[in-house]
């Protein structure tokens, strides 16, 4: 949990100095820490109070989805349910993969990248208590439910429940199979250099015909980071998978969306590359089904995750039962 003073600063999401410190000691539950330095295009650090940010807008001019005509038009046919306070897409994995592919094939649907992110219990808790994290998530074109408890509670509390958990770790493979068949391209950004290269090697073995136009670790700062963003844009991948940690991968999209106009879809990816590399095992299937994957991760990394889960899980449960309702299509 962040202190009141931390909540009042956008540096919690985009300040380079804070990103370096925070990521080293508090990565997201599914994320390999990547102290990426996120700056504005002038290279200056940003420190903005939420009070200085107009309602419905983001620090760099990125609009919340509800006031973003491009995002609303591109996702108008997708039903949503408000689960734990966030509006989540009522799509299963296959439907999500199809949506991503149809956004770029046979032609790009919109003039900017479509932006998809994911939420679990920790994200619900942090969005409820961290205003800037909440705004970063609400700027996404689609938010998927990457947590089985969200699905389970939606079936109890919402007349329009979530059909299933859409874990990015599984969704990646769904999209990769389709991209391999259609000749669509990937770029993988995030994790450390060793993890990133191992992930790429395993993906290439699994999908030999998949076109990976580039990849990079997430330990980039200042001019190097901006140069990498421009390189990605020049390569024009259909899918950019960004694994920098919450809220830094969301802040990356906010910061650089305007410089990535040649990208088709941006999908934030959490700890995806750790699973692709093989350095972190998935929970047994039965634990995933009953919503206990968090317990598996806690068993693997008790020192890193105990306090986080102790503070966010009860709060997330409260939010799930008190801020869950249905939303109409396109909301």
23 has a pLDDT exceeding 50: no
Residue 250, H or E segment: helix 248-256
**Dihedral pair phi/psi, residue 235, rounded to 5°:** -75, -20
58 has a pLDDT exceeding 80: no
Give residue-wise pLDDT tens across range 72-124: 899 999 999 999 999 999 999 999 999 999 999 999 989 899 999 999 999 99
pLDDT band at 329 (very low <50, low <70, confident <90, very high): low
Where does residue 237 rank: exposed (0-12), middle (13-18), buried (19+ CB within 10 A)?
buried
Task: Write down the pLDDT at residue 65.
Answer: 65
Domain that holds residue 224: 4-327
- Mean predicted confidence (pLDDT) in 214-235: 97
- Mean predicted confidence (pLDDT) in 174-195: 98
Q: CA 105, CA 238: separation in Å to the nearest integer?
A: 9
150, 200, 170, 144: which is closest to 282 by C-alpha?
170
pLDDT band at 46 (very low <50, low <70, confident <90, very high): very low
* Max intra-chain CA distance, the chain: 50
Give residue-wise pLDDT tens across range 145-179: 999 999 999 999 999 999 999 999 999 999 999 99
Does 253 or 310 have the greater pLDDT score? 253
Residue 144 β-bridge partners: 118
Q: How many domains does the chain have?
A: 1
Report the percent of the chain where pLDDT is more than 90: 64
Taking a C-beta distance cutoff of 8 angstroms, is the pair 64, 203 a contact? no
4 has a pLDDT exceeding 50: no
Q: CA 40, CA 142: separation in Å to the nearest integer?
A: 24
Taking a C-beta distance cutoff of 8 angstroms, is the pair 244, 27 a contact? no
């Amino acid at each position: 949990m962040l202190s009141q003073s931390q909540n009042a600063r956008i540096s919690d999401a985009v300040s380079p100095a804070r990103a370096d410190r925070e990521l080293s000691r508090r990565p997201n539950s599914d994320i390999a820490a990547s102290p990426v330095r996120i700056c504005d295009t002038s290279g200056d650090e940003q420190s903005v109070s939420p009070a200085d940010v107009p309602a419905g807008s983001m620090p760099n001019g990125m609009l919340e989805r509800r006031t973003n005509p491009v995002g609303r038009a591109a996702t108008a046919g997708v039903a949503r349910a408000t689960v734990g306070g966030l509006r989540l897409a009522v799509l299963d994995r296959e439907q999500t993969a199809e949506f991503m592919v149809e956004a770029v094939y046979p032609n790009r649907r919109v003039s900017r990248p479509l932006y998809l992110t994911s939420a679990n219990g920790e994200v619900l808790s942090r969005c409820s208590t961290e205003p800037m994290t909440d705004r970063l998530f609400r700027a996404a074109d689609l938010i998927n439910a990457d947590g089985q408890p969200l699905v389970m509670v939606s079936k109890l509390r919402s007349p329009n429940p979530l059909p299933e958990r859409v874990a990015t770790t599984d969704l990646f493979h769904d999209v990769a199979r389709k991209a391999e068949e259609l000749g669509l391209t990937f770029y993988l950004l995030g994790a450390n250099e060793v993890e990133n290269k191992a992930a790429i090697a395993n993906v290439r073995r699994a999908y030999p015909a998949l076109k990976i136009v580039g990849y990079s670790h997430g330990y980039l700062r200042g001019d190097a980071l901006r140069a990498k963003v421009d390189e990605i844009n020049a390569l024009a991948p259909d899918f950019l998978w960004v694994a920098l940690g919450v809220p830094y991968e969301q802040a990356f999209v906010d910061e650089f969306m305007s410089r990535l106009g040649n990208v088709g879809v941006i999908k934030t990816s959490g700890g995806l590359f750790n699973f692709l590399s093989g350095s972190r095992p998935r929970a047994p299937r039965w634990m995933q089904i009953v919503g206990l994957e968090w317990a598996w991760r806690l068993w693997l990394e008790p020192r890193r995750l105990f306090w986080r889960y102790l503070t966010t899980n009860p709060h997330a449960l409260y939010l799930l039962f008190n801020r869950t309702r249905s939303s109409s299509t396109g909301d």
